[in-house]
Structure 1
Amino acid sequence: MTTSLRDVSFKYLRETDDNIPADTGVSNLTIDFSPGSCTLITGSSGSGKSTVLKLLNGLIPELYEGDLSGRTLLGGLDTASTDIQRLGQTAGMVFQNPRSQFFTANVLEELAFASENAGEAPETTAQYVAAAINTWGIRPLMNRSLQGLSGGESQLVACAAAMVGPQKILLLDEPTSNLSPAAIDLFTAVLQRLKTAGWTLIVAEHRVYPLNKITDWTVIMREGRITYQLRGDEFFAIPEMKRRELGLRTLTKPQPQLRHAASEMVAPAVTAPGVEVRNLRFSYGKRQVLGIEELCLAAGSVVALTGPNGAGKTTLARTLVGLAKPQKNTEIKFQGKVCDCAERQKRSALVMQDVNRQLFAETVAQEVSLGNGEMPREQIEALLEELGLKGLEQRHPMTLSGGQKQRLVIANAVASDAQLYVFDEPTSGVDYGHLMSISSLIRRLAGRGKSVLVISHDLEFINEVADRHLQLEPFDKVGYDQIQDLSVNHRTPGGKTRDI
């Protein structure tokens, strides 16, 4: 059954003041998605990748008002004239922010929701759900609440839910953005199995290397238009210089190689000790999540923290900045002073994994200065230009693409005068050029004597930005102490040696 776009153009219409332009959308797109094939759609942030998926799943024109021309077919169905519920049984969709598509309270209910809502027989729904659980290896999550999942776990659950039903088409928007390296390996293996089983896969991604050997065709987009359509092998053979010129992320799996030498870790002018942690323990009810004997985030340094999905990285971030209260006897010092939760909040800036929770202002320009006092217009404009947001000053923040929202929250954090900066997956949904600009901004924060913690699975980014690379292991696997230093040969208390 045909899935394709034929000379499709779409321009978003927005109920805004006349002086705020509508999105360009996409123009003159013609793409064929062969049954059983994998198509990668990549390009700069805001280039129209997500719009292509919204066209295919029928959200355009069902939910998004705009000027639409051309014809879009999904499994032989005209998306403009077909009921959206029927389209939902033709293709599964995983959004850029998977939490935005959850409807229930726990994992098992979420997996069954769409099939039950479509009126499938209970035994049929049970078969679909069992297949999805086994395919994505998420059985340990079955009794978990959706609210308690990490970002990576949420993505895996959303991927599983998208294949529950009779559909054989899967639409994925930045599906690896929050996944650990182990989860990416699982993701890649699952996609290969689905493709072998006849599924049609359409993936919008910046982090493209996991799709090597799977992709049949690659579509490169810029400003709503197609700039290249290449066979998969042609795309992954693009020379390095051309790859950078096109603004694409690495085409090969990155290897650990920190650019910043240990001698650069602390700026010579910095004498403050930064942020020091002793005996940090944190539990959710009876389940202990964190047990960290010692952690130092030196002033003037950028420390990268990795670890498996669900290890407690985001919980550590929330504890450090004062949004979560650790158990008694935990000691957290800022520049030599023990600080309680309220004091840590005053001295910290956090960029969350889900940046939608941090957007409050009515315009992009107002968002940059929110909570940062009076800022000169020139300073706001310079920050926005550096992060690729120039020209969007009067747009509402919630109308931006996922990558643009990410960079806007980063701009707000950078504009503050905090002592500790914590960035939780700051490069999810960003292209190569913006990865480099974010790295540059974070390095400048360190140069100003700030302590910076970057929580990320993105090794390409870590290699560019970090002085040290630490790993957080799940507490239930290693107990006290969870932190391992992967920057150098390091012998942990348990006697393990890691060399990365």
Structure 2
Amino acid sequence: MTRISILDHDRCQPKKCNYMCIEYCPGVRMEEDTITIDPKTKKPIMSEELCSGCGICTNRCPFNAISIINLPEALEDPIHRYGQNQFELFGLPTIKDGSVVGLLGPNGIGKSTIIRILSGELKPNLGNFEEETSWDDITNFFKGNQLQNYFQKLSEGDLKVVHKPQMVDLLPKVVKGKVDDLLNSVDQRNRLDFVTSSLQLETIMEREIANLSGGELQRVAIAAAVLRDADFYYFDEPTSWLDVRQRLYAINVIRELAEEGKSVLVIEHDLAALDAISDYIHILYGQPGGYGVVSHMRGVRVGINAYINGFLREENVRFRKQPIEFHVRPPATEVEAEALCEYSSLEKSYDGFYLNVDEGLVQHDEILTAFGPNGIGKTTFAKMLAGVEKPDEGKIKKKVKISYKPQYLVSEYSGTVQEFLYTTAPHYGTNLFKTEIMRPFLLEELLEKKMDELSGGELQRLSVAISLSQEADIYLFDEPTAYMDVEQRLRAAKAIRRVTESRNAAAIIVDHDIVFIDYISSRAMVFTGEPGVEGHATSPMDLRSAMNKFLSEVGITFRRDKETRRPRVNKLDSYLDREQKEKGEYYYLKS
């Protein structure tokens, strides 16, 4: 059996452990060079040829920095490996003309690596990280495969490729000036009016890029990619920070590329968005940070359902012990129960914006979600409940202690995650903390990382975990799923529900992921109005009523997949779309 040895360089601390992996390695004791020391980094180097796979080093390492992974026997030669004892990628996706192909899998499994390889930003080394691989070697490796011709043209500069990166918040650091100047400079397809109208960018065309919000930056980045003329388009998480309506607009703009015969590849963690945008998908499985495998291509419905079930029938691979289960909950019945928090009608005005909130209450043990367009007042409502902002009219009748996770995360702390947890998380180090917080959010793998080196998804997981670790009556999360993968979102949902119920508390969640909202909600609030001008929030109501109200204004309908019960977007003006609109059932038809 083939095995690989993975060393997490961020977690490895040889000065603190004095190389316990070397001390206890049976191969080293037999005077073999099973583990040696890199003279440059002073980190251990594990020989995969000499390793017996005993696992002693993984158990002895006090920082859990070592993984010895037995690979499936069916895996053939790797496409790329970053270095000795580092991540290895097996396989690449199929690219189809006139189609959108989606990539679905956890963070750290190789999706962004695939886009970097296909866009020409990273030259695949075919597993030989010690020497530079020639383009002839690469084209010969894919001989008889459609990728042979692709890499041949890529190496000769005959392919035009556009890559919309994941971290759009870095855009202001590389692009200066106004939105109008940027989009005019890249409009190679003469589609500026159509794209700016479709993505609702008209009102920000004269704004400086440095002054845009996360959602505005995302739409500008999508527009800049779509306007350029290319053969292949790659979009890395195009719906982050976008509201439901904006996600659908972005989907339509990206799908138009495929309808023109272009090839499009998309990485997306919102299952409803991935379902709506893709014609086909590839599932990536393996071990995050260790190795990733690209599955066979599947139709979008079959592929997403296979991912939810955790089993790839054709490959005979099970990558999750239990399937993800979606439950159709009946409308919540009104019961006379002591309210955890009550508020009267609230009003709040800013320069050019007015928010009105209907009176309502939050109950013990419930998960209340709030959804609506960006710029409609959801964050303002959250801040009023949290005491960060005071309403102009009305009041919070019953004072409660609130733990608040803001929408935009900024880390100015220079120490490690472990040091940060010591200062911010009550009960850190206790068994209760490990069970309720540490394990669900996989914080153990982050402990030795520097706070300012965390990725967007890692910082999000840590922020939600720290908010949940506080003693509070209400846990308030503003867009907690941004940059999280599908499984991280659902693990976070379970952890939030478990903690709120065990503490007889409640949680209020502002988010745009319909699948996540459906999975976690007890009740919901709907925010309507004119973004940036005026907003109105309803009282909390049952989820189906709230969804019907919101989706009727957006003009889209959802159905439930017959196999997995997950929410799916109906194609506009399809038979189901028309039928549900006629019946006024925008969320899903009653069974």
User: Is 1:101 the equivalent of 2:171?
Assistant: yes
Alignment of 1:3-82 (within 5 A): 17=13, 18=43, 24-57=86-119, 60=122
CA contact (8 A) 2:404 2:476 kept: yes
Amino acid at match of 1:208: L
User: Is 1:329 the equivalent of 2:382?
Assistant: no
Equivalent position of 2:349 in the other structure: 282
Deviation at 1:228, TM superposition (A): 1.4
Equivalent position of 2:303 in the other structure: 235
Equivalent position of 2:58 in the other structure: none
Take 2:8 and 2:191, find their aligned partners in 1: how far apart are those partners? 36
Take 1:481 and 1:413, find their aligned partners in 2: how far apart are those partners? 27
Instruction: Please say which of residues 387-396 and 302-311 is displaced more in the overlay.
Output: 387-396
Take 1:353 and 1:78, find their aligned partners in 2: how far apart are those partners? 44
Equivalent position of 1:465 in the other structure: 520
CA contact (8 A) 1:261 1:467 kept: yes
Equivalent position of 1:118 in the other structure: none
**What do residues 206-237 of structure 1 show as CA deviations (whole Å, max 9, x unaligned)?**
22343447324524233232151223355256
Take 2:225 and 2:321, find their aligned partners in 1: how far apart are those partners? 27
Secondary structure of the 1:375 match is coil
Q: Could you say if the C-alpha distance between residues 296 and 155 of structure 1 is closer, same or farther in structure 2, counting changes exceeding 3 Å?
A: farther
Deviation at 1:190, TM superposition (A): 2.0
CA contact (8 A) 1:281 1:327 kept: yes
Equivalent position of 2:578 in the other structure: none
Q: Could you say if the C-alpha distance between residues 429 and 473 of structure 1 is closer, same or farther in structure 2, counting changes exceeding 3 Å?
A: same
Equivalent position of 1:443 in the other structure: 497
Alignment of 1:313-324 (within 5 A): 313-323=378-388
Q: Could you say if the C-alpha distance between residues 432 and 479 of structure 1 is closer, same or farther in structure 2, counting changes exceeding 3 Å?
A: closer
- Which of 393, 410, 416 in structure 2 is aligned with 1:363? 416
Take 2:538 and 2:399, find their aligned partners in 1: how far apart are those partners? 21
CA contact (8 A) 2:93 2:297 kept: no
Secondary structure of the 2:228 match is coil
Which consecutive residues of structure 1, in runs of 5 or more, have no partner in the other structure? 1-9, 116-123, 338-346
- Which of 340, 354, 365 in structure 2 is aligned with 1:273? 340
Secondary structure of the 2:166 match is coil
- Which of 437, 462, 466 in structure 2 is aligned with 1:412? 466
Deviation at 1:470, TM superposition (A): 0.9
Amino acid at match of 1:215: D
Q: Could you say if the C-alpha distance between residues 170 and 301 of structure 1 is closer, same or farther in structure 2, counting changes exceeding 3 Å?
A: same
**What do residues 320-344 of structure 1 show as CA deviations (whole Å, max 9, x unaligned)?**
3344x345335235x347xxxxxxx
CA contact (8 A) 2:367 2:507 kept: yes
Q: Could you say if the C-alpha distance between residues 499 and 81 of structure 1 is closer, same or farther in structure 2, counting changes exceeding 3 Å?
A: closer
**What do residues 96-144 of structure 1 show as CA deviations (whole Å, max 9, x unaligned)?**
342222334653244346x4xxxxxxxx679464454245343344345
Equivalent position of 1:3 in the other structure: none
Deviation at 1:203, TM superposition (A): 0.9
**What value does the CA root-mean-square deviation take over the aligned residues?**
4.6
Alignment of 1:52-201 (within 5 A): 52-57=114-119, 60=122, 90-102=160-172, 103-104=175-176, 106-112=178-184, 115=186, 127=190, 129-130=192-193, 132-134=195-197, 136-144=199-207, 146=209, 151-201=214-264
Q: Could you say if the C-alpha distance between residues 29 and 236 of structure 1 is closer, same or farther in structure 2, counting changes exceeding 3 Å?
A: closer
Deviation at 1:306, TM superposition (A): 0.6
Secondary structure of the 2:113 match is helix
CA contact (8 A) 1:42 1:206 kept: yes
**What do residues 232-280 of structure 1 show as CA deviations (whole Å, max 9, x unaligned)?**
355256496446965699999x9x95479457996xxxx5632525422
**What do residues 425-458 of structure 1 show as CA deviations (whole Å, max 9, x unaligned)?**
2223334433332122211333213342101122
Amino acid at match of 2:484: V
User: Is 1:428 the equivalent of 2:490?
Assistant: no
Take 1:248 and 1:99, find their aligned partners in 2: how far apart are those partners? 36
Instruction: Please say which of residues 288-297 and 89-98 is displaced more in the overlay.
Output: 89-98
User: Is 1:208 the equivalent of 2:271?
Assistant: yes
CA contact (8 A) 1:169 1:201 kept: yes
Take 1:147 and 1:289, find their aligned partners in 2: how far apart are those partners? 25
Take 1:327 and 1:207, find their aligned partners in 2: how far apart are those partners? 33
Q: Could you say if the C-alpha distance between residues 239 and 481 of structure 1 is closer, same or farther in structure 2, counting changes exceeding 3 Å?
A: closer
CA contact (8 A) 2:160 2:232 kept: yes
Take 2:177 and 2:505, find their aligned partners in 1: how far apart are those partners? 39
Q: Could you say if the C-alpha distance between residues 303 and 404 of structure 1 is closer, same or farther in structure 2, counting changes exceeding 3 Å?
A: same
Q: Could you say if the C-alpha distance between residues 374 and 438 of structure 1 is closer, same or farther in structure 2, counting changes exceeding 3 Å?
A: closer
CA contact (8 A) 2:376 2:531 kept: no
Secondary structure of the 1:386 match is coil
Amino acid at match of 1:437: R
Equivalent position of 1:4 in the other structure: none
Equivalent position of 1:376 in the other structure: 429
Take 2:396 and 2:331, find their aligned partners in 1: how far apart are those partners? 27
Deviation at 1:471, TM superposition (A): 0.7
Amino acid at match of 1:276: Y
Question: How many percent of aligned residue pairs carry the same amino acid?
Answer: 20
CA contact (8 A) 1:272 1:299 kept: yes
Deviation at 1:60, TM superposition (A): 4.5
Secondary structure of the 1:428 match is coil
Take 1:392 and 1:239, find their aligned partners in 2: how far apart are those partners? 26
Instruction: Please say which of residues 72-81 and 201-210 is displaced more in the overlay.
Output: 72-81
Amino acid at match of 2:369: A
Instruction: Please say which of residues 439-448 and 215-224 is displaced more in the overlay.
Output: 215-224
The number of residue pairs the alignment matches comes to 452
CA contact (8 A) 2:11 2:448 kept: no
Take 1:477 and 1:80, find their aligned partners in 2: how far apart are those partners? 44
Q: TM-score, normalised by structure 2?
A: 0.63
Alignment of 1:242-281 (within 5 A): 242=310, 246=319, 257-258=328-329, 261-262=332-333, 271=338, 273-274=340-341, 276-281=343-348
Amino acid at match of 1:414: L
Equivalent position of 1:311 in the other structure: 376
Q: Could you say if the C-alpha distance between residues 247 and 360 of structure 1 is closer, same or farther in structure 2, counting changes exceeding 3 Å?
A: farther
Give the number of the structure whose alpha-carbon radius of gyration is greater: 2
CA contact (8 A) 2:346 2:356 kept: yes
